[in-house]
């Protein structure tokens, strides 16, 4: 893929997300060029989500590794929530089409990545089990409201 193709795809994705902001239920009614069908577009949207999620998880885990009492589960949870908050239209579109067979393998990869990043599963476990653990983790993340952060109090000493 050349730069021109890349820019066309990014522009098409931005158009779809703008449409989703205005009309979430009809955002995929028309598939913009250069995408040829909904399957190709959904896979590109999932790829965009995954790239942003992985970036935030990597940063969160790096920060956690530097902390005295780093909590990988909390770090990944917050990274997922920040990614979802930064991309509400994208997340809603993917959620709306989560049962589409085009997304099945990508969603399973995401679940495996979450399970491994949190430390809830290991690389040597069966992929299906790792994906199941990641799916359960994500269900908990979504079902549990995020706690508001307490402001840090400054010491006056």
Is position 20 within any domain?
Answer: no
Provide the whole-model pTM: 0.87
Q: What is the pLDDT of residues 34-61, one digit of tens each?
A: 999 999 999 999 999 999 999 999 999 9
pLDDT of residue 69: 62
Domain count of the fold of the chain: 1
Q: Find out whether 69 and 128 touch, Cβ atoms under 8 Å.
A: no
Q: What is the pLDDT of residues 8-44, one digit of tens each?
A: 999 999 999 999 999 988 999 999 999 999 999 999 9
Domain that includes residue 83, residue range: 38-143
Is position 27 within any domain?
Answer: no
64-73 contacts at long range (C-beta below 8 A, 24 or more positions apart): 72/117, 72/118, 72/119, 73/118, 73/119, 73/120, 73/137
Q: Please tell me what DSSP assigns to residue 37.
A: S
Q: What is the pLDDT of residues 78-135, one digit of tens each?
A: 999 999 999 999 999 999 999 999 999 999 999 999 999 999 999 999 999 999 999 9
Is position 149 within any domain?
Answer: no
Determine the 3-state secondary structure of 151 from DSSP. Answer: coil
Counting Cα atoms < 13 Å in the Cβ hemisphere of 54 gives 11
Task: Check whether 154 has a pLDDT greater than 60.
Answer: no
């Amino acid at each position: 893929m050349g730069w021109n193709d890349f820019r066309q795809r990014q522009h098409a994705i931005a158009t779809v997300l703008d449409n989703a902001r205005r009309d979430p239920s009809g955002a995929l009614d028309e598939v913009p060029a250069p995408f040829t069908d909904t399957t190709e577009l959904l896979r590109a949207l999932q790829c965009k989500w995954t790239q942003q999620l992985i970036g935030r998880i990597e940063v969160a885990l790096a920060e956690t590794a530097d902390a005295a009492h780093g909590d990988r589960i909390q770090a990944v949870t917050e990274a997922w929530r920040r990614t979802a908050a930064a991309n509400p239209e994208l997340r809603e579109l993917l959620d709306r089409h989560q049962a589409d067979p085009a997304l099945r393998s990508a969603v399973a990869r995401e679940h495996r990545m979450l399970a491994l990043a949190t430390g809830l599963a290991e690389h040597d476990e069966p992929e299906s089990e790792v994906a199941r653990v990641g799916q359960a983790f994500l269900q908990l993340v979504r079902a549990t409201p995020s706690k508001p952060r307490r402001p840090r109090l400054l010491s006056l000493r």
